[in-house]
Amino acid sequence: MTERLTRNQLARLVAQDIPSGAYVNLGIGQPTLVSDYLTPSQNVTLHTENGMLGMGPAAEGDELDEDLINAGKIPVTELPGASYFHHADSFGMMRGGHLDVCVLGAFQVSVAGDLANWHTGDPNDIPAVGGAMDLAIGAKDVFVMMNLLTRDGRSKLVEACTYPLTGVGCVTRIFTDMAVLLVTPDGIRVRDTYGCTFEELLRLVDLPLLAPERESMLKA
Amino acid sequence: MLTIHDDVDEAVSEITDGAIVLIGGFGKAGQPIELIEALLRRGSRNLTVVSNNAGNGTVGLAALIGAGRVAKIICSFPRQSDSELFDAKFRAAEIELELVPQGNLAERIRAAGSGIGGFFTPTGYGTMLAAGKETRMIDGRGFVLESPIRADFALIKALKADGVGNLVYRKTARNFGPIMASAAAHTIVQVSELVETGGLDPENVVTPGIFVNSVVVVPAQITSNGSTEVAR
C-alpha cells in the first residue's frame, strides 16, 4: 500500500493532470506549489487574475517590481509571450470559459461538486472573496487541492457544505493526500487511494463513493 | 476637455462630501497613493469608495479609511495581512462593507462605463453574496442580476499620458484603471510622465483620452529594473 501524499507529491500529481498547452490559473496558497512541477514540455500558460497571461516564477533580487505582482500580491516575473490586460478582460477570460484549468484550495467540497473555500461563516471573521467565485464557475475544469480530513479528523468531502458556498456544482476533480476523486454525473468516483484502501476511505468519509475503475488503477 | 493640473491637491479639489469615488489598484500596484493622500488633505467626508482592496499598511486608501473619511466601501478583498486600519473600522462598525466577487466588481464598473443597465452573471449564483438578488436560468445554468456602479470621480494611476489624456499603463498596475476611467463622471489620473500630444503610438493607447478629465504628474523614481516606484 502506498503512503499518504505530502503537499509536494500532491502538487506533482495535479501538475501531471494538466493537459499540455493549457491556460491555467493557480489559486493563492497550496495551489501555487503546482507551478514547481509543470514541465517545459507541457507548455502551460499561467493566468493571474490581476491582468496577466504568461506569468513566470516569483521575482528575486533585481527582478522585484512593484508593478508586477500575482493575485497573492507576491512579486513575479513575465515570460516571453506574456500579455497584460485590464480586470474586466481578465475576469471575462474566466467567466467566458477560456481558461482550461483552475486549481483551488477548499474548506469543503460536496458530493455534488459544490465548493466552499472563501469564508468560514464565523461572524468574527472579516469576509473577503476576491476572485474565488469567478474562478470556481469559470474554468472548464476546476481542480481542488486539499487534505481529505480536517485537523480533528472530519472529512472535508461532505454530503452538503456547511461553510458558505463559493460555487454550485463547479468542482470536477478533487486531489487530496489520501485519494484522488472525480466528480461524475453518477457521483464521486475514486481514482486512486494513498495510504488507505478503498474500504478504509469509505469509512473515513462516511459517504457513498464509486469504486476505482481497474483500468485507471493500472494506468496509474 | 482635459485639464493638466500642477499638483495633486488641485486635481482633487472638486471632490465633495458624500461623493462616490472609484480608486484604482490591486494591492499597491496601480494604487494612486498621492491622489488619495491629497483627498485626505482636502478633508472630504462620508465618501463611498469602490476599490478592489481596503488599503494596505498606513498609506493611501488605508490612511483615508483610518481617518474616518470613508462611510462605505465596495470591494472584493478587504481583509489582508496589512489591512489593520480597515479591520479596526469594520470591527467598530464605523464603515459599511459591500462585498462583491472581483469579476462582478470589474464588470459592474465596466457596465457603468459602457451604458449597460445591468447584466446576468453566473458568478456568485447560489451563494450568500447573491442573496436577495434576481436570478434567472439561462440555458440550464443559474445567473444573478448585477447592476452597474457609476461614480462621481475616479482616481487612477497610469504610466504616461499625452496632452489629450490618452493613457498607457505599466504591467499589472493596469488592473482596474481602464474600466474605472470610463465609469466616472470625472476621472483624475496621476501619471509618472506627461508626453507631448502625438508622443504615444495610437496603436498602443490603452485608455483613450475621452475617458480622462484631469491629469497630474507625480514624478516616479525609475529603479534599476525599470520599476516606477514613486519617490516618498
pLDDT in tens, A117-132: 999 889 888 999 999 9
- Judge whether B130 is closer than 8 Å to chain A, CB to CB: no
Write down the H helix ranges in B96-191.
102-113, 177-183
| pLDDT in the model for residue B230 | 47
| pLDDT in the model for residue A220 | 45
Determine whether the interchain pair B172/A51 forms a contact, defined as Cβ–Cβ distance below 8 Å: yes
- Summarize pLDDT for A63-101 with one digit per residue, the tens: 999 999 999 999 999 999 999 999 999 999 999 999 999
Instruction: For residue A67, list chain B residues with Cβ-Cβ distance below 8 A.
Output: 29-30, 170-173, 227-228
Residue A56 lies in a domain: no
Q: Which three cell numbers, joined as nine digits, stand for A194?
A: 494513498
- Judge whether A116 is closer than 8 Å to chain B, CB to CB: no
Candidate from B26, B52, B127 with C-beta closest to A164: B127
- Summarize pLDDT for B46-65 with one digit per residue, the tens: 999 999 999 999 999 999 99
| pLDDT in the model for residue A214 | 66
Q: What is the DSSP letter of A118?
A: S
| Statement: residue B227 has pLDDT above 70 | no
| Structural domains counted in chain B | 1
Residue B201 lies in a domain: yes
Residue B136 lies in a domain: no
Average pLDDT across chain A, whole number: 95
- The answer to whether B24 and B154 are in contact (CB under 8 A) is yes
- Judge whether B11 is closer than 8 Å to chain A, CB to CB: no
Q: Which residue has the cell 481529505?
A: A148
Rounded Cα–Cα distance for residues B208 and B15 (Å): 23
A-B CB pairs within 8 A amount to: 154
Which residue, B91, B43, B48, is CA-closest to B71? B48
Mean pLDDT of B164-189: 98
Which residue of chain B has the CA closest to A131? B102
Mean pLDDT of B86-94: 96
Rounded Cα–Cα distance for residues B76 and A130 (Å): 5
HSE on the CB side for A184, CA within 13 Å? 14
- The answer to whether A25 and A104 are in contact (CB under 8 A) is no
Mean pLDDT of B29-52: 97
Residue A76 lies in a domain: no
Q: Which three cell numbers, joined as nine digits, stand for B175?
A: 488592473
Residue A79 lies in a domain: no
Candidate from B28, B101, B109 with C-beta closest to A129: B101
Mean pLDDT of B177-184: 98
Residue B137 lies in a domain: no
Continuous segment of H or E residues that includes residue B110: helix B102-113
Q: By residue range, what is the domain housing residue A156?
A: 7-49+85-219
Which residue, A143, A153, A139, A141, is CA-closest to A109? A143
| Statement: residue B112 has pLDDT above 90 | yes
Task: Compute the nearest-CA separation of A100 from chain B (Å).
Answer: 17
Instruction: For residue B190, list chain A residues with Cβ-Cβ distance below 8 A.
Output: none
Residue B132 lies in a domain: no
Residue A80 lies in a domain: no
Residue A18 lies in a domain: yes
CATH code of the domain in which B30 resides: 3.40.1080.10
Task: Compute the nearest-CA separation of A165 from chain B (Å).
Answer: 5
Residue B128 lies in a domain: no
Residue A71 lies in a domain: no
Determine whether the interchain pair B127/A50 forms a contact, defined as Cβ–Cβ distance below 8 Å: no
Of residues A28 and A21, more confidence is placed in: A21
Indicate if A49 belongs to the active site: yes
CA torsion sign for B147, B153, B156, B161 is positive
Residue A13 lies in a domain: yes
Rounded Cα–Cα distance for residues B148 and A139 (Å): 24
Average pLDDT across chain B, whole number: 94
Q: Calculate the CA A25 to chain-centre distance.
A: 9
Interface of B with A in 52-91 (CB under 8 A): 52, 76-80, 87, 90-91
Q: By residue range, what is the domain housing residue B226?
A: 3-119+148-230
Determine whether the interchain pair B175/A138 forms a contact, defined as Cβ–Cβ distance below 8 Å: no
- Summarize pLDDT for A143-185 with one digit per residue, the tens: 999 999 999 999 999 999 999 999 999 999 999 999 999 999 9
Best of B89, B99, B108, B123 to disrupt the A interface by mutation (most A CBs within 10 Å)?
B123
CATH code of the domain in which A120 resides: 3.40.1080.10
Residue A64 lies in a domain: no
| Statement: residue B66 has pLDDT above 50 | yes
- Judge whether A60 is closer than 8 Å to chain B, CB to CB: no
Q: Which three cell numbers, joined as nine digits, stand for A78?
A: 513575465
| pLDDT in the model for residue A64 | 96
- Judge whether B143 is closer than 8 Å to chain A, CB to CB: no
